[in-house]
Structure 1
Amino acid sequence: MLKRILPLSLFMLLIPAGFIFAADEATTAATRSVPGILSVLPLVLILVLLFLRVDMIVAGLAGGVLAMLLGGISIASGNDFLTKSLPMMLTLTVPIINSAIATAVFKSGGYVAALTLVRRAIRGKVEYLAAFIVILQAAATYMSGIGGGSAMVIAPLAFAALGAIPELIAAMAIAAAVSFTTSPASLESGIVSQLGGFAVQDHVATMRPFWLLFVALAIVLAFIGAKKRGALFQGEESEEIKSMTSKELWKHTIPAIFLLGSVILGPVINKAVGMPVLAPLVYLVLTTLLIWICTKFTLNQSFEALVDGSNYILTRLFGVGIFLAFINMIGDIGAFNTIAGVTSSVPDWLMVPVGVLAGFVIGVPAGAYVGSILTLVLPIAVSLHFSPISLGFVAMGVGFGAMVSFVNITMQALASGFKVPIIDVVKGNAKWVGASMVLLLTLSFFFT
């Protein structure tokens, strides 16, 4: 029924919108401002559609058309919103580069080699392997900015090594959430920095202590869970991996180690020597060459993997750019100013925790679209003059909400990789993600 009603409804909305021509191209945001609750209706419509699992661009289109009708935004002006928002997202070059390189490292087998090395070294001490799996999940997600992509590779390996330990699954989810919301390579970090008006690197540096804190707690959770349950190895190494010596495995991990070091320590080294010795151009070329030297990939295959690795983030940046155009239309009719006016009555000390909690609550049903949720929530936070660290907390809140969502890609990857129903993953995560949210809310009281 929804498939029939929604296209017809959009068509009916577009008919009158088509008659809003460029008769008044000098119209400003102030004269377009729609009074009171009416300005918020497009946002409500988008949220309802997202909760119903409608595609984010379809939901954005519905809200954008309604905003055009309410605010008298012409087709020409609407086109301006689109042509400005798309370039804004597609100029996030550092996240695109980092994501592409990390995906190439994935494809070359660097992370599989690292996990195999640790598995051989621990000699049955499964709690140490569980801890390392969380470290690997956090590092891979942090470098690539893609939680789902990391989980798709690591979860099946973790299941083969340890089985479906609930605490391990929850720890991987928590590590993924804080990693993709603070990563120098993620869509989410790009959105936070663009809407907040600061560089991606500044967001990453500001949030790094909190990223490390939650990752450390996730490692402890996985360690304790594996030790308590006494999980046994569930599978054997593949024939290809079994035939590789430890020296060969170490060689395969060199590109991943170099990339992680470049992403985390690069800014510090560049500042210390006074020149960009580990700029994105440098570690892009060097990591790709290391893939060629250290793995079975040829030179051509290494650079092809690099280019192919950009597909995920580029397509999502394109989609979010379109979605953001509709959000900007809604902002143009005064929606975010209206919400900011209402929430300004909340005591200052409570405002940031409320924003973080709102991000979590919205993230649960609409967890498939974390980037899109941020474009809905963050403009309100920006209008309330949230600090960069507060914006980072809101992003983390949305990430945690997605980790108890049935529709999130990372959650789907964990369920598939560990071969358990997603309802069991949600139930298993709820307690530990909830505890993480309590800590995040507590931090948001003191760091604003």
Structure 2
Amino acid sequence: MSEVSLVLRSTRVITPEGTRPACVAVAGGLIEAVLPYDTPPPPGARLEDAGNDAVLPGLVDTHVHVNDPGRTAWEGFWTATRAAAAGGITTLLDMPLNSLPPTTTTEHLRIKRAVARAKAHVDVGFWGGAIPGNEKDLRPLHDAGVFGFKCFLSPSGVEEFPALDQEQLAGSLAEISGFGGLMIVHAEDPHELDTAPLRGGPAYADFLASRPRAAENTAIGNLIARAKRLDARVHVLHLSSADALPLIAGAKREGVRITVESCPHFLTLTAEEIPDGATEFKCCPPIRETANQDALWQGLIDGTVDCVVSDHSPCTTDLKTADFASAWGGISSLQLGLPAIWTEARRRGRPLEDVVRWMSAAPAALAGLTRKGAIEAGRDADFAVLAPEETFTVNPAELHHRNQVTAYAGKTLYGVVRSTWLRGARIARDGVLSEPAGRLLERNT
């Protein structure tokens, strides 16, 4: 057993058993024990006193488009992981598309890992991709350590990552379920999208009409049916349509192995507040109306929605044109997800423990990251120290994202991240980052 090298103390340590005053003892990069608040540190251990700031387990973000290599003008491992660390995130999983090459073969995975290795400020894992024609590559990718496989049921926006049709989805899902893998799905039905009205221009109402709730509802219904038939494990990405919640809840009651995520932008921003031409708010599926958001929150509170992750999907400023039809769709929020969700959760009377469950414990469980997601003995000593009652106003110039395009510009949010710790080492303090200390993760590590 390693000697305790660090004791992190706070009047508010959030553990699986609740929030309490405690000392967290760290040895060899792991949590050795969670001890009473007045426990003296052992000889030779450094004491860090967080005072009344809350000590959270480091956040786990399982939905990040890093875009590296190939589109590093949009984002990259250096900038994305710095933004993550500044925002209290200690582990992220990189999506397989928007990089060149996409992560659809073991060779492409090798290339991505080589690029990420020296640039990671936080721990990084990788999703594989399921596209037409790569069924033979899925098992090798699984064996190489990807955490699961992403597919689109409608166009992805990049030609090198085509969508699966229903027959291809059935084939890939059967292959993945055969070795116990996980399929994560961008669930919008292409036929519903094709029949929706499509008009170019700056009007957000026109864009919203072009991505109807029916597209999500139909795709999710079809996915549930296939997952039930195959006893496959599936995960619905970035749920926007609250109309699908009864379908999902019913499937869970029937024992279908389905989990669901939503995102900060769906839970904190509303269609009514989006000005025409403000394409920094564009994402697919879209930000919907206030009543829909209220229903999503209810789904999150009652457990129908399992977790909250960023879907950080950045681009260069020039791609956010004033035309909602042609502008790149994606919200940049990696550094801001924790305060954004805490601000809204606080307004709705939800405790910080809920935010920890949604943004740390549940995403870690989704990915099988058994050493992440909680402050308890044996876990990695990953922490975010948060001042929950303090506020700040979002200044895009102060973000670590490569491109400072954000839908949160000018918003005042609760929750200032004081520091972030990775395996017992402080990697960020008041927005100032240390040298890269992240590791590349494989499934079951």
Normalised-by-shorter TM-score class:
under 0.3
Specify the structure having the higher radius of gyration (Cα).
1
Which one scores higher on RCO, CA 8 angstroms, separation ≥ 6? 1
TM-score by length of 1: 0.23
Higher strand share: 2
Higher helix share: 1
TM-score by length of 2: 0.23
